[in-house]
Chain A
Amino acid sequence: MSVSSIDPAQSALSAPEPSTFGEEGEAAKEIQGRSPWQLAWARLRQDKVAIGSAVVILLITLVAIGAPLIAHLVGHGPGDTYPFIGEDSYGLPIGPNRTFLLGADDLGRDVLVRVVYGARVSLIAGVVASALAVLAGGIVGMLAGYFGTAVDTALSRFMDVILSFPLLLFAIALVSLVGPSLTVSIAVIAFFSWAVVGRIVRGQTLSLREKEFVEAARSLGASDLRIIFVDILPNLVAPLIVYATLLIPASIVFEATLSFLGLGVVPPTPTWGNMLSDSLPYYKVAWWFMLFPGGALLITTLAFNLLGDSVRDALDPRYARLFKA
């Protein structure tokens, strides 16, 4: 068989065979093997909002890690009460001064030290709960989407049911039975967040499964396991990262809410949520008691939301940014 029989009039088919590699005019780009990750990273590095929020998150993380050091420097432990120097003669918390840089709380404890320790709980709860939710949602969503049929129907219905549960109330019910703790909070948050991730991952797997590159892998004899890990998973990593960064602030808020309601980490361990709860009766006399934990909480969630938005933008510029006009 040869192509010499091509009708010369069909110029379309008789274009000369080029000898060069950079065929068809559209010259191959000069960038050498820049992966989609590298491109995203490059975009992220040019994004001032992303840099700013990443720096803030980094600082908060450092502060959380260095909490004992800060406590040592200040000279007050997170649970130490100073009824005489931390409260005035009426027993009310005293405001910011040289000993208590951010003031004291209702029991005469150092607000600065407690806010710093509170960051630990928030970050751990936010990161761990999001990681668990993304992991569970990713696995379940991928299985449902990839294997389809009965597995899919069962898992999808299960996720639908979870999504129609009144979360906070079930969290309340659960905590009332097993008693509050950080572990319970994390479990509750993860349990009620994974289904959202699962639903999205399922949808994306479903469309990836129909892609020709999966068909190609199958025609080469690849096993399901290989297809899942080599062909599907790498395409899910980007959305999973985006969901993780957006889940973290949501989980932090959830944890703070549980703590605020007395359903989270048990006092005297300081969390931003239980500090705010303690501050509620004192908001008229001790603004610092409310402002500093509240401000720390808000700054943290803001930073994570901004970063998540930038990450989404960098990974897939086609998405509309949530918070950028």
Chain B
Amino acid sequence: MIHAVAPGSAPQDSDVLVRVDDVRKYFPIRTGLLRREVGRVHAVDGVSLEIRKGETLGIVGETGCGKSTLARCIARLYDLTAGTVVFDGRDISRLSRRRMRPLRKGIQMIFQDPIGSLNPRRRVGSIIGDPFAIHGISRGEDRKHQVQELMRVVGLNPEHYNRFPAEFSGGQRQRIGVARALALRPKLIIADEPVSALDVSIQAQILNLLTDLQDEFGLTYIFIAHDLSVVRHVSDRIAVMYLGKIVEVASVSELYARPRHPYTNALLSAVPVPDPDQADQRERIILVGDVPSPINPPSGCRFHPRCPKAQNLCTEVDPPLEVKKDDRAEHVAACHFPVEVGEKLSRARAGIAQPERQAAVEVSHEAVEGAIGPKEKT
């Protein structure tokens, strides 16, 4: 494993490739003839992160929690509503599209949809050659050689240079996306759910490819996924996201050994465990209700309507992301009542009324023993 930073010590500035500070992205909701703004989707709402050179930072969270929006903010595909993004020592958060252009070489993205991310009307060679064309790096035969070399690197047959995306399988298409992202030798690659749309049997191939490329080219990755089982195997550290905010960041081993945020605990309990004996032992945490709308996020801790440990304080004060007692310096969580090691969350009872309790009854009577049922008021 490439560990640029000794665990436990605060990272030096020179080790940090990307510093994300209190980034917010709100999408206005407009209606009517006059396009009046009637609300805002708080897609990313105050995210701070550091990504260190050479590491892979995994970002996990349910669909719709703002992972892609955060990724697009870091890649400056979106203008930020607030906050700063410092890339390689340079504040890029307010750069115009034109000023951003040369810097794009350093930050590349791999997209989720292997079909949607490749223009169906263009040949693979010209798709992969795009970066060279856009930045005026090479042309003609030169470019063709470079593209074919890239195709070889990502495990595609260079002779398929003239084919169209539709003639490739899902995994191969994702390799095309990887080749395109790799073309400019970026420092950072943001992979937004790169394997979510692939057959399980192909996922590992792409993950292995990404790992190999990281070793070969000294890449830094932000690796986004909606479940922990995928990120776990490629990440050095994992950030857990919920409704536009980061709720916990820790190294993989820490996160698995000592998950402090109740949401992280719930996510972990949902990771399939192959060993049936172990599966029986493990507690299953069933969350109450659905993810609330990011248009009007809950007050205080956003997780409180679903959190088994929620108390009155949680509805009022937004817990800061900070190092909890007995944790290492790099392990932070945003929770007033962090989960202790050995604590059985499935027995916890929220101290506040949680409106979705009716829905939870239906879920829990089918769920395994130990699921969080609604507390009967006694």
Contacts and interface: CB of A to CB of B under 8 A. Distances in A.
B312 interface: no
Given A23-B169, A36-B121, A212-B113, A28 B160 contact: yes
A42 interface: no
A325 interface: no
B131 to A, nearest CB: 5
Contact of B119 (A12, A17, A213): A213
A10 B274 contact: yes
Contact of A15 (B101, B170, B201, B274): B201
A318 B295 CA distance: 37
Interface string B73-115: 0010100000000000000000000001110110111011100
A157 to B, nearest CB: 9
A178 interface: no
A149 B35 CA distance: 9
Contact of A1 (B105, B204, B214): B214
B203 interface: yes
A2 B1 contact: yes
B117 A9 contact: no
Contact of B111 (A17, A21, A153, A212): A212
A3 B134 contact: no
B337 interface: no
A35 B234 contact: no
B134 A222 contact: yes
B354 interface: no
Contacts of B199: 24
A31 interface: yes
Interface in B197-229: 199-205, 207-209, 211, 214-215, 229
A217 B130 contact: yes
B155 interface: yes
B1 A1 contact: yes
Contacts of A5: 233
A21 B163 CA distance: 14
A153 B122 CA distance: 31
Contact of A18 (B101, B108, B205, B215): B205
Interface string A268-301: 0000000000000000000000000000000000
B123 interface: yes
Nearest to B163: A33
Interface residues of A, number: 45
B119 A28 contact: no
Contacts of A218: 77
A318 to B, nearest CB: 13
B275 interface: yes
A215 to B, nearest CB: 6
B234 A219 contact: no
Given A9-B275, A21-B157, A213-B117, A221 B207 contact: no
B116 interface: yes
Given A3-B233, A13-B204, A220 B131 contact: yes
A6 interface: yes
A153 B171 CA distance: 40
Given A1-B211, A23-B171, A28-B167, A216 B204 contact: no
Contact of A28 (B172, B208, B233): B172
A212 to B, nearest CB: 4
Q: Pick the 7 closest A-B CB pairs, nearest first.
A: A9-B274, A33-B162, A221-B104, A212-B117, A234-B121, A21-B157, A12-B200
29 contacts: A1-B56, A1-B211, A1-B234, A5-B233, A7-B233, A9-B274, A12-B200, A12-B204, A14-B204, A23-B155, A24-B205, A29-B167, A33-B123, A33-B167, A36-B166, A212-B117, A213-B119, A216-B117, A216-B177, A218-B77, A219-B77, A219-B108, A220-B104, A220-B130, A220-B135, A221-B134, A222-B134, A230-B119, A231-B122
Interface of A: 1-3, 5-7, 9-10, 12-15, 17-18, 21, 23-24, 26, 28-29, 31-36, 149, 153, 211-213, 215-222, 226, 230-231, 234-235, 237
Interface of B: 1-2, 35, 56, 72, 75, 77, 100-102, 104-105, 107-109, 111-113, 116-123, 130-131, 134-135, 155-157, 160, 162-164, 166-172, 177, 180, 184, 199-205, 207-209, 211, 214-215, 229-230, 233-234, 236, 274-275
Given A213-B116, A220-B131, 18 more contacts: A1-B2, A1-B211, A1-B234, A2-B1, A9-B274, A13-B204, A17-B204, A18-B205, A23-B171, A23-B205, A28-B169, A34-B164, A213-B118, A213-B119, A215-B109, A215-B111, A216-B117, A231-B119
